[in-house]
Amino acid sequence: MVYGFKGELVAKLGRGKWKEVYGGCKRVFSVLPLAARVAKTTLILHGGLFRKPNPPNRARQKRRKINALELGSLEDLRAAHKGGMDPNGTGAARLATDVLWSDPLLDPGFQFNTTRNIGMVFGPDRFLEENGLRLILRSHEGPDAREGREDLSPMTEGYTLDHDTPAGRLMTVFSAPDYPQFMPESHARYNNKAALAVLTAPDYAAPTFLQFEAVRPRPMAHPYYDLGVPDSDEELEPLASDASGMTDVEQDTSTTSEASVSVALPAGRGGEEVASVGADAP
């Protein structure tokens, strides 16, 4: 409700149909993992890399000695839970919060994300090689988030290559064209393309991209959210905890405790196995 998803469903599907779709989406959200590992070579997640969790059952004094900026591993990700309905970055929810909010940097390093004041920022070092990966696909940064960033490419084509190392690459995929849909009249539109990443056998680590543009003309619609409200979880948290509509979803923790999963992929055209990955689609 805070960010407009429920309002968009009501506006586009009508009052007689939105509830079924909304309920279905909530059920999907409740079982989605934090990340997916494809064919042992490609890691797909929303934001980026994450801190190693503090070891359990240690005295508080000993915990203070642990490096809070130590990079986590796939094993840490596999053992983590999703952090609750709205991960706040503290305690056991810290790893999930990092996965959702972290951003890449061009320079090596791993540190707190002071721009967003949540999550981490990370450079092109160590994680791919240490975890036997060749590709990380992530999203989380549309054209508005990349505006003014001179170190990384703008999100005008729907995808970017952010890290290119001997061990592998990190790429950002953004699947919402002409984003954001609603903007203040004083701000020029980005008119960005959107993209889907297509992963092909045998290694699923060399994606090709399908690009598309927004439908023209765009359907007339009023904003589903207040353009004057800052896009910040910190400032919207009191609303989000009560108004998300997620409180009636029961989660089967026995099947969702592992955050990193291997994905079985169907056969595509020509006998090849193909997986299409999109992110942040409207």
Q: CA angle 143-218-275, nearest 5°?
A: 60
Residue 217 pLDDT = 86
What length is written for the chain? 282
Closest to 122 measured CA to CA, from 143, 140, 148: 140
- Are the C-beta atoms of residues 139 and 172 closer than 8 Å to each other? yes
266 domain-assigned: yes
167 domain-assigned: yes
Q: Which domain holds residue 162?
A: 5-277
- If 0-12 CB within 10 Å is exposed, 13-18 middle and 19+ buried, where does residue 252 land? exposed
156 domain-assigned: yes
Mean predicted confidence (pLDDT) in 122-145: 96
282 domain-assigned: no
pTM of the entire predicted model: 0.79
16 domain-assigned: yes
Looking at residue 221, its amino acid is A
Return d(Cα 82, Cα 35) in angstroms, integer: 10
Which has the higher per-residue pLDDT, 159 or 87?
Answer: 159
Q: What is the CATH number of the domain that holds 25?
A: 3.60.21
- When pLDDT is cut at 50, 70 and 90, the band that residue 276 belongs to is low
Cβ atoms within 10 Å, residue 107: 9
Does position 199 have pLDDT exceeding 90, yes or no? yes
Which has the higher per-residue pLDDT, 51 or 277?
Answer: 51
Q: How many domains does the chain have?
A: 1
Task: Give CA separation, 56 vs 50, 53, 65, 92, in Å.
Answer: 17, 9, 14, 10
Cβ atoms within 10 Å, residue 260: 20
Mean predicted confidence (pLDDT) in 211-233: 77
Which has the higher per-residue pLDDT, 200 or 60?
Answer: 200
- When pLDDT is cut at 50, 70 and 90, the band that residue 85 belongs to is confident
Does position 46 have pLDDT exceeding 90, yes or no? yes
